[in-house]
Amino acid sequence: MKNIKVKNIVISITGIGDDDFVNLTDIARIVNPEFPSYVVRNWMRLRATIEFLGIWEKLNNEYFNLTEFDQIKNASGSNAFVMTATKWVKETNAIGIKPRRGKYSEGTFAHRDIALEFASWISAEVKLYIIKEFQRLKIQESEQLEWQGKRLLTKLNYLIHTDAVKEYLVPVELSNEQKNFIYASEADLLNVALFGRTAKEWRDTNIGKEGNIRDYANTIELAILSNLEYLNSMLITQKLSQQERLVILNKEANREKELFNKNSVKPIKMIEKK
């Protein structure tokens, strides 16, 4: 469940399949905090609303009940006409609206297309605010996906890196504790080359934070780290000492940082952990 905020009202959004469904009841609270469901019902009574919902379903729902829809449309607009989200879904097999009753997601949810139509009916201002918040949310999600992709790449190269450490630096006769020390030492070699400090030094200055130094890296740092892991695995096969490798790795890290900086590549940080 995601949230956006419009005029100090939190509007919940849930993913259903590949689509976002927005809580219409939350949007209605902007104009009627006490009885938001009445606002949604009043909107659904309108003939223009029924026509819009029908067109949306025809375009997106092959199982939409056209016969029932025609009867509802003919009845809409009269003083006696009443329509609710539950009734609409039940009688037409609609998929664009999802009434929910639960502790954490109560209200009438609707596909974002329908939600924007509802917001436009309330006011142009509300619609524009929601569009702006949607754009912000999508940018945030895109940046987070990019960060996760970079993090995955470093993990893949980490396997190449640890395999080289195992083959060239870890004698078979060592104990597991001794082997783990070597692996940690090589991981810290990369940390020092890129971040200028070891994992322990980072933890000592970031008490209370979850995760490790790499979890808080931005996308540029993760891209460089991935390259350093691969480079170090190659240097290990050449049997260079750790000190020699540190010098080479640090130079490469600085070179890549400068390259990204010259080309104005924007770093993206992960959403900070609480």
Spell out the per-residue pLDDT of the chain, length 274, in tens.
578 788 888 888 887 656 889 999 999 999 999 999 999 999 999 999 999 999 999 999 999 999 999 999 999 988 899 999 999 999 999 999 999 875 555 789 999 899 999 999 999 888 888 888 877 777 666 666 666 665 665 666 666 677 778 887 877 777 888 887 888 899 899 999 999 999 899 999 998 888 888 888 887 888 888 889 889 999 998 999 999 999 999 999 999 888 888 877 666 555 444 3
What is the b/e burial string over 191-217, where b = at least 16 CB atoms within 10 angstroms of the residue's CB?
bbbbbeebbeebeeeeeeeeeebbebb
Nearest to 127 by CA among 114, 142, 144: 114
- The dihedral through the CA atoms of 190, 196, 198, 203 has a sign that is negative
Please calculate the CA angle 258-161-241 and round it to the nearest 5 degrees: 80
- Stated pTM of the model: 0.53
| Cβ atoms < 10 Å from Cβ of 54 | 21
Query: Which residue's entry shows tokens 């929601």?
Result: 130
Residue type at 30? I
Q: How many residues belong to the chain?
A: 274
Ordered by start, the domain boundaries in the chain are: 2-122, 142-262
C-alpha to C-alpha distance for 237 and 9, rounded to whole angstroms: 59
Looking at residue 147, the DSSP 8-state letter turns out to be H
Which pLDDT score is estimated for 94?
A: 96
* CA angle at 87 for the pair 81 and 93, rounded to the nearest 5°: 125
